[in-house]
Amino acid sequence: MDEVVKEKLSSIRARYQAQLEQKAEQLELFWQQSKIPPTVAVGETALSELLHLLHRLAGSGRTFGFPDISSVALELDRSIRDMDITEYRSDPEALLPLKQKLLKCLAQPVEGDYGGADRHFRKDTEYLVYVVEDDPAMGEWFHQALHSHGYDVCMFRSLAEMRERFLKQRPRLVIMDVILPEDVSAELRVCEDMRLFNDANVPVVIVSSRSEFNTRLMAVRAGVRAYLTKPVNQTTMISCLHEIIEEQPSDPYRILLVDDDEDLINIYRLNLEEAGVKVYGLTEPQRTLEVLESFRPELVVLDLHMPVCSGLELGQVIRQQVRYANIPIVFLSADSSEDIQLEAIRLAGDDYINKPIEPWRLRTNLLARLKRARMVNQYVSELVKEISFKEQHDALTGLPNKMQLESRLKLAMRNVREGVRKHMALFLVDIDNFQQVNDAYGHELGDQLLVDMAKRLESSLPHSCIVSRPGGDEFAILFKSMTGPHQVVHYSERLLELCDLPFVVGADEVKLSFSIGVAPYSAHMRAIDSKTLFKQADTALFRAKGSGKNDYVIFESRMESELIARVTLASDLRKALQNDEFHLVFQPQVRLDNNDIVGAEVLIRWEHPRRGLVPPCEFIPVAESHGLIERLGEYVLRSSIRYLAKCLSSFSRAIPLAVNVSPRQFAAPEFVEQIAELLNEYDVDGGLLELEITESALAHDIDTAVNKLNRLRKLGVRVAVDDFGTGFSNMASLKRYPVDMIKIDRSFIRDLPHDEDDLAIVTAIIEMGHALGLKLLAEGVENEEQMQMMRERKCDLVQGFYISRPMPADAFESQYIENLHGSSKLTR
């Protein structure tokens, strides 16, 4: 090295070293202060100062020739960041050993290689690794992974290229894929090259996507040092290289020796420590369990004959606990009776070694076992990591799932209760009409949309919040820290803006909207648990959906009672269906030209055992949101058809009934078959049944809807379009549906005759309906004037309080059906 450079380096290094004491003081200070909860602002500042200091030490130590400072500071920095803030505050002691280690590094910095520079000058090839990889992306990965761990890397696209260089400069290690495309007689050539590497004593690591027996066998025969299968885990690869190059693992093996002869322990210890093994020598067997817990050895060596208890007994004590089952036990004894050896292995051991044994022989034996034990443990811990990841994440989007959300939510709520944060909030975001996207584009594209949505949410929200997918098309976002209500509003609006840009679904761009429910949480709400908070967010979301979607609603406590009422109502509703607490009422429909009663709309009434009559406007939405609407719908259909049958048998005649059908009921694929079966079961003519279906139910999937309507028509069943004019009414699409009647919604009739706009609309609907050959019925007619106006405009039918309120079966029968003179007339 240039003398001038050397001199400069050492003066800079000395200056850096001189400041380390001060850094240690800072570390102590920030450490103490950062434990203070941030209600006192200094704690928050100190914590970020602490992390900043650690970051700087990690980023500088090695540069100045103190690699230990870098690695310990980095480890401490990561450990603190990995912890949740509360965890850190309640138990920073867990990090004490690391902190002590760092303080020691700062007090007595160990001069390492000058940032790797000395080694670079000493011997170019010490950390030089050759990689043969023909895939550029994979090559880039290797380069990045090795380089960031301090290796010098040379990349080669082919073995031949590498061989040429190899003859000039030997690396410390070679990594290669087994067979590269250009190699025709690859196997032979690899073996030839392997001889070259082996003769030069350069270890070879194979990284291959091939896993078949022959390739592996070839690798073994060729003397390959390690065989890793793609995709390779970076940590696994680096620790594997380290072990080959340094001839010991980066994290030393840990071995527990239990022997009453201290001298023997010392001899073994000396020998094993030379090979980089950490040895815990124990002369008191009764402390074994305690040491197993604190030292966590990967191998236990037991002397068979000890005064307190025999090794055989001790081995059995260890084996009583399943969690130590992965630790191999090796017995050492001068007693070479085969019976005892067999017994030792049968009861607890993995091997039995005869004393006396040369320390190097023992070392080789134990190292081989340690290496395998380490492999098993690594494999198991990776599996555990993978399983726990899968357990806590949604498989589709990779976001935390409901389980993880719940634990994070609990933690965040605790932080607020304990004053670490002021407020927090849980947001539930639901994609409006996601079901329609799924129906129209299929599940695969629907899933892709969810993945896109997850990405959009994650990339546009602060890192500190947790985006998760508890299920379906619903996303939950946990804001662990909120300054106040204005921030809730700000983020709600920002979330709504996320759907300003369309989503790409297949070849289309789809414009979506979200509904958002927010449940804020503050310290005074201590009585509320995480489940309740989730329900509150859900209630708010329900409100947002109800208020016309593309909106956010923030939970307020008055919604609480509604929530409870809704939940109670749902459970009562379930019971009511079982206990038959419903009955039907009938509202007559009258022809305007001759006052004949030509039909009646069937309405449902619920006689609640405690509350009495519950209005449909209250329980129908609950039935819809709790998945009971189909059962309720089926109940009404069946009861209506049964009632028709009863009328036919009792009075030999019946008045046609109009039954409401919910969109979900109509969407069921077996809907028409169900009607046919019911008509058949009760032997009722389809002409006596009319179904009232809203326009939105028909618009969902037009082709299927038209098909169903045609099949209904074949059964003789008539169909009326209900609540016409309230939704996205469309006369043009109406002509495509084979329906019989339009029911003009009551909202257009209510303000007649005064509201001229309404009158104009009603007139237009009647005219257009007639032009399409449909019958028209006006709902909610309440007085003579309205009746007269409808008559003048040639509306066909009316229904409403003016004619009759909905009436129970007996009154309906006595007034309209028992009349033996054939037709039923309006008696008004």
Q: Of the ranges 14-22, 374-382, 480-488, 491-499, which one interacts with other proteins (CB under 8 A)?
A: 14-22
68 versus 474: smaller Cβ distance to other proteins: 68
Nearest-angstrom CA–CA distance, 619 and 626: 10
Give the integer Cα–Cα distance in Å for 393 and 403. Answer: 8
For position 15 contacting other proteins by CB under 8 A, the verdict is yes
Q: Does 4 bind other proteins (CB under 8 A)?
A: yes
Q: By CB under 8 A, is residue 82 in contact with other proteins? A: no
The residue range among 53-61, 250-258, 666-674, 757-765 that interacts with other proteins, by the rule CB under 8 A, is 53-61
d(C-alpha 754, C-alpha 108), whole Å: 95
Does 5 interact with other proteins (rule: CB under 8 A)? yes
Cα dist from 115 to 6, 118, 244, 250, whole Å: 13, 7, 22, 18
Q: Which is nearer to other proteins, 30 or 586 (CB)?
A: 30
Rank residues 1 and 220 by Cβ distance to other proteins and give the closer one. 1
Closer CB to other proteins, 65 or 517, in the complex: 65
Phi-psi category of residue 627: left, alpha or beta, with phi > 0 → left and psi -120 to 50 → alpha: left
Taking CB under 8 A as the criterion, which residues in 101-140 touch other proteins? 114-117, 120-121
Q: Please pick, from the candidates 48, 144, 286, 364, the single residue that binds other proteins as defined by CB under 8 A.
A: 144
Q: How many CB atoms neighbour CB 447 within 10 A?
A: 13
234 or 377: CB nearest other proteins = 234
Stretch binding other proteins (CB under 8 A), from 9-17, 508-516, 592-600, 726-734 = 9-17
If one asks whether residue 90 binds other proteins (CB under 8 A), the answer comes out as no
Q: For other proteins, which is the closer residue by CB, 38 or 116?
A: 116
Cα dihedral 154, 155, 161, 167 in deg (nearest 10): 20
Interface segment toward other proteins; rule CB under 8 A; list 49-57, 188-196, 241-249, 260-268: 49-57
- The span from the CA of 388 to the CA of 381, in Å, is 10
Judged by CB under 8 A, the chain residues 245 through 304 that form the site for other proteins are none
Binder of other proteins out of 43, 61, 171, 780 (CB under 8 A): 61
Is 62 a binding residue for other proteins by CB under 8 A? The answer is yes
Task: Tell me which residues in 394-453 interact with other proteins (CB under 8 A).
Answer: none
SS3 of 603, please? Answer: strand
Counting contacts by CB under 8 A, is residue 724 touching other proteins?
no
Q: Are strands 128-132 and 173-176 parallel, antiparallel or unpaired?
A: parallel
Question: With DSSP H G I counted as helix, E B as strand and the rest as coil, what are the percentages for the chain, rounded to 5?
Answer: 55, 20, 30
Nearest CB to other proteins, comparing residues 55 and 646: 55
User: Residue 465 carries which DSSP code?
Assistant: S
Cα(132)–Cα(161) distance, integer angstroms: 9
10 near other proteins, judged by CB under 8 A: no
Using the rule CB under 8 A, is 2 a contact of other proteins?
yes
Q: Tell me, what amino acid is at 592?
A: L
CA dihedral 380, 386, 387, 391 (to 10 degrees): 160
- Residue 383: CB atoms within 10 A of its CB come to 10
- Rounded least distance, CB 74 to other proteins, Å: 8
Q: At which residue do the structure tokens 């030509």 appear?
A: 598
Tokens of 706: 């038209």
Q: Residue with structure tokens 């230990």? A: 68
- Residue range at the interface with other proteins (CB under 8 A); choices 3-11, 178-186, 214-222, 460-468: 3-11
Q: Please report whether residue 60 would count as binding other proteins according to CB under 8 A.
A: yes
Strand-pair partners of 553: 517
Contact between residue 632 and residue 604 where contact means Cβ atoms under 8 Å apart: yes
Range in contact with other proteins (rule: CB under 8 A) among 48-56, 284-292, 441-449, 726-734: 48-56
Candidates 12-20, 306-314, 548-556, 790-798: pick the segment binding other proteins (CB under 8 A).
12-20
Piece of 15-23, 212-220, 445-453, 651-659 that binds other proteins (CB under 8 A): 15-23
Closest approach, Cβ 394 to other proteins, in A, equals 20
The closest alpha carbon to 717, from 679, 751, 754, belongs to 679
Q: Which is nearer to other proteins, 51 or 826 (CB)?
A: 51
| Smaller CB separation from other proteins, 234 or 433 | 234
- Of 813, 816, 779, 814, the residue nearest 796 (C-alpha): 779
The answer to whether 74 contacts other proteins (rule: CB under 8 A) is yes
Cα of 712 vs its chain's centroid, Å = 44
Structure tokens at 680: 């058949």
User: Minimal CA–CA distance to 693: which of 705, 682, 675, 684?
Assistant: 705
Would you list the DSSP string of 299-365?
EEEEES--SSS-HHHHHHHHHTSGGGTTS-EEEEES---HHHHHHHHHHT-SEEEESS--HHHHHHH
Nearer to other proteins, 104 or 119 (CB): 119
Contact 778, 749 (CB under 8 A): yes
Q: Answer yes or no whether residue 59 interacts with other proteins by CB under 8 A.
A: yes
Residues with Cβ within 8 Å of 173's Cβ and at least 6 positions away in sequence, in order, are: 129, 130, 202, 203, 204, 205, 241, 244, 245
Q: Which stretch binds other proteins (CB under 8 A): 5-13, 325-333, 687-695, 737-745?
A: 5-13
Interface residue with other proteins, options 30, 31, 64, 666 (CB under 8 A): 64
CB of 385 to other proteins, least distance (A): 18
Q: Does 16 bind other proteins (CB under 8 A)?
A: yes
CA distance 440 to 432: 14
Asked if 389 touches other proteins (CB under 8 A), the answer is no
Q: Which is nearer to other proteins, 83 or 117 (CB)?
A: 117
Q: What tokens appear for 67 in the block?
A: 């690699």
Residue from 148, 169, 209, 696 that binds other proteins (CB under 8 A)?
148
Q: CB of residue 15 vs other proteins: minimum separation in angstroms?
A: 7
Nearer to other proteins, 235 or 710 (CB): 235
Q: Based on the shown chain and the rule CB under 8 A, indicate whether residue 208 belongs to the binding site for other proteins.
A: no
Read out DSSP for 198-227?
HHTT--EEEEES---HHHHHHHHHTT-SEE
The gap from C-alpha 809 to its chain's centroid, in whole angstroms, comes to: 53
Size of the site for other proteins (CB under 8 A): 30
Give the residues lining the site for other proteins (CB under 8 A).
Answer: 1-2, 4-5, 8-9, 12, 15-16, 19, 52, 55-56, 58-64, 70, 74, 114-117, 120-121, 144, 148
